[in-house]
Amino acid sequence: MSVASRVESDGQLARLLQIGIVLEEVVEARAYEHYQRLPDEERDERVEDLLQEAREESAEHRERLEELVSRLDGDEEAAIDVGALVREQYARTGPNDFDGILYDQLNGEETAYKFYDDLIEAVEASDVTFGIERETLLSTLREIREAEAEGVEAVAALMESRA
Amino acid sequence: MNTADQYLKAVFLVQQIEEGPASTGALADRLGVSPASVNEMVGKLADRDLLVHEKYKGATLTDAGETRARDALATYCVLERFLANVLEVEDYRGEAGQLEAVIDETVADRLDMIIEREPDCPNCFDAEADACSHLVEELGEVEASD
């Protein structure tokens, strides 16, 4: 138990990065599900492009996080098929209209931003020497956080333009 | 989860175990902090009407405090269940305790989209076992309190 919001070991950092990987996979898989379920009358290029870009960006973030995890002295990665879990639970948690799809996408990007923001703060608060260079770790996480912020803005702008 | 919510959750669970007010010593043990830190935070939470503190007895949550504690416990349940069932972490209790300070409620809500939770959550949480009783059962674990 730790009430302090800081990362205290390679293992803990690896686990947090693994959670980030799952969050990215959830965004990626849900964007795909949203795309598949878009009603015909709601299909337009901007929405399709947005969902496609969200999927590609999440895949890229996931790969960057996996690269960091592979360089840490932590547990091996668990083989998880997050896509299958998302599909299984989509009926329960998926939005049922077009506005809901955009809102869900916005929520996914905002959540990822919050996660990276908290993680950066927790790394900055730690004086532990990690298995990867601290500045490399922080600059990667900050770049991903910035991309999430841009993702939030892109979804919000699209929602605004359709209002 | 912020520090205040971690304390409220701990008070909620210790109250269940002790069947009465949560003592400073028991809270310090549970949170891994000093009794002085507990007293300081309990004072702040009392000032915010989230708990009532009686000298020599301990802390008791108010209704508002209990509502927040139950939300925090639900967030914690998501984290335990995610670690155990998705990442297949054996020491999910230990890791959930280490990670809860860094995992925000909104992040837990997102993780909740890929796990199965029983509708009675967080009532299913067994304070003695420090885990969801359904999860303990699913994993075929012997109760930690045994």
- From first to last of its 163 residues, chain A has per-residue pLDDT tens of 566 688 888 989 999 999 999 999 998 888 888 888 877 877 778 888 888 899 999 999 999 999 999 888 766 555 677 888 888 888 777 887 778 888 889 999 999 999 999 999 999 999 999 999 999 999 999 999 999 999 999 999 988 887 7
Chains A, B: CB contacts within 8 A come to 93
Interface test with A, best of B11, B88, B114 (most A CBs within 10 A): B114
CA–CA dist B142, A94 (Å, integer): 36
Q: 3-class DSSP state for residue A156?
A: helix
Residue of A nearest to B105 (CA): A111
B120 touches chain A (CB under 8 A): no
Give pLDDT, residue A1: 55
pLDDT tens per residue, range A5-23? 888 889 899 999 999 999 9
Count of alpha carbons within 13 angstroms of residue A94, beta-carbon side: 21
- Check if the beta carbon of residue A116 is closer than 8 Å to that of residue B117: no
| Cross-chain CB nearest to A3 (options B3, B83, B89) | B3
Taking the Cβ of residue B102 and every Cβ of chain A, the question of whether any pair is shorter than 8 Å is answered with: yes
Among the ranges given (A91-95, B9-13, B53-57), the one the predictor scored with the smallest mean pLDDT: A91-95
Distance between CA B118 and CA A121 in Å, rounded?
A: 33
Residues of B in contact with A17 (CB under 8 A): none
Are the C-beta atoms of A3 and B3 separated by less than 8 Å? Answer: yes
CB-based contact A28:A55 (threshold 8 Å):
yes
% pLDDT > 70, chain B = 97
Of A99, A106, A129, nearest to A38 (Cα)? A99
Residue of A nearest to B29 (CA): A1
User: Is the Cβ–Cβ distance between A142 and A120 less than 8 Å?
Assistant: yes
ipTM of the complex: 0.86
For residue A47, the model assigns a pLDDT of 84
pLDDT the model gives residue A163: 72
Q: Does residue A95 have a cis peptide bond before it, meaning omega lies within 30 degrees of 0?
A: no
State residue B51's pLDDT score.
97
Joined tokens for residue B125: 């949480």
- Highest mean pLDDT, choosing among A16-30, B14-28, B90-104: B14-28
| Out of B102, B110, B114, closest to residue A111 by CB | B110
Handedness of CA B90, B95, B97, B103 (dihedral sign): negative
Question: B7 falls in which pLDDT band (50, 70, 90)?
Answer: very high
- Three-state DSSP at B126 gives strand
Residue A100 makes CB contacts below 8 A (sequence gap 6+) with none
* Chain B residue closest in CA terms to A82: B114
Q: What is the Cα–Cα distance from A119 to B34, expressed in whole angstroms?
A: 25
Cβ contacts of B75 within 8 Å, gap of 6 or more: B1, B5, B100, B103, B105, B108
Q: Which domains does chain A have, with CATH numbers?
A: 10-162 (1.20.1260.10)
Burial of B50 (0-12, 13-18, 19+ CB in 10 A): buried
Residue of A1, A26, A110 with shortest CB distance to B114? A26
- pLDDT for the residue numbered B145: 45
CA distance B19 to B31: 19
Can you give the pTM of this predicted structure? 0.88
Which residues of chain A have a Cβ shorter than 8 Å from any chain B Cβ? 1-8, 12, 15-16, 18-19, 22-23, 26, 30, 75, 78, 80, 82, 85-86, 88-89, 93, 107-108, 110-111, 114-115, 118-119, 122
